[in-house]
């Protein structure tokens, strides 16, 4: 997946960013577009998604938008099919969708809350993965980047459902890599530490401003995605941990 040295690093590449309406996904979509990629963006929040797409178009980027819920497999299949029909390829997928709940402690977490986090954070990643693999297999090339969380490596008070879903994403990514590496497909899991995104608002106790001031910014995670996406196909980054230097 090396770039054309005469152009931008991701010229002629097609990227699908799932969970692009805010935070890390939005920043990654913008960065990939700046680097020359055609960018398809998907999320549930239609208004934010439309705002993002309008900005990409205004900047001269080639972008298409898919308002969808990652639990809706037919919608995901339809989006992937349209990307293939209109752009003829799909090179890079970034699964940036993630959620949490304020009722995350075990004595407050409900079965419905557990199911929602697993469905959105992990099962959605499975749906997207299974949908994009046939086209990548046919092309003999492809990269899937999963945005997990450093909570998957260092358990904290983010909640057992969140940690289980983000850790499960690691198993998904590595399992896909083992099955698909001979077809030219690679996977990477990125583990961001504390990042200043809207997800912080779902914490039961507000994060102190002085701590947020030291957090990663979504653009930092986008740069990590860009680094992985611009490596040659012979190079594989299984995991990448990115944490704030001051915390």
As annotated, the active-site residues are 162
Q: How far is Cα 112 from Cα 46, in angstroms, rounded to an integer?
A: 24
Q: Which residues have CB under 8 Å from 132's CB, separation 6+?
A: 16, 80, 90, 93, 142, 144
Which of 25, 150, 14, 168 lies closest to 90 in space, CA to CA? 14
Q: What are phi and psi of 191, to 5 degrees?
A: -110, 90
Q: How many CB atoms lie within 10 A of CB 213?
A: 10
| Strand ordering across the sheet containing 63-67 | 63-67, 38-43, 14-18, 92-95, 142-147, 185-192, 239-242
């Amino acid at each position: 997946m090396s770039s054309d040295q005469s152009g931008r690093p991701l010229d002629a590449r097609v990227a699908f960013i799932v969970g692009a309406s805010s935070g890390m996904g939005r920043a990654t979509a913008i960065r990939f577009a700046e680097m020359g990629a055609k960018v398809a963006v998907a999320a549930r929040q239609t208004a934010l998604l439309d705002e993002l797409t309008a900005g990409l178009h205004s900047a001269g980027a080639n972008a298409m938008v898919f308002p969808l819920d990652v639990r809706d497999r037919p919608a995901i299949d339809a989006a992937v099919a349209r990307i293939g029909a209109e752009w003829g390829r799909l090179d890079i997928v970034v699964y940036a969708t993630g959620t949490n709940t304020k009722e995350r402690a075990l004595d407050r977490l409900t079965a419905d809350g557990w199911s929602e986090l697993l469905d959105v954070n992990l099962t959605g990643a499975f749906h997207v993965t299974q949908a994009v693999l046939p086209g990548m297999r046919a092309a003999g090339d492809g990269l899937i980047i999963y945005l997990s969380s450093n909570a998957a490596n260092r358990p904290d008070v983010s909640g057992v459902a969140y940690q289980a879903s983000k850790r499960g994403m690691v198993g998904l990514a590595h399992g896909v890599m083992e099955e698909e590496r001979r077809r030219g497909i690679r996977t990477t899991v990125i583990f961001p530490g504390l990042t200043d995104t809207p997800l912080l608002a779902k914490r039961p106790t507000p994060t102190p401003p002085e701590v947020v001031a030291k957090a990663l910014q979504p653009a930092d995670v986008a740069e990590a995605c860009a680094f992985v996406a611009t490596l040659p196909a012979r190079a594989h980054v299984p995991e990448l941990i990115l944490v704030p230097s001051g915390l």
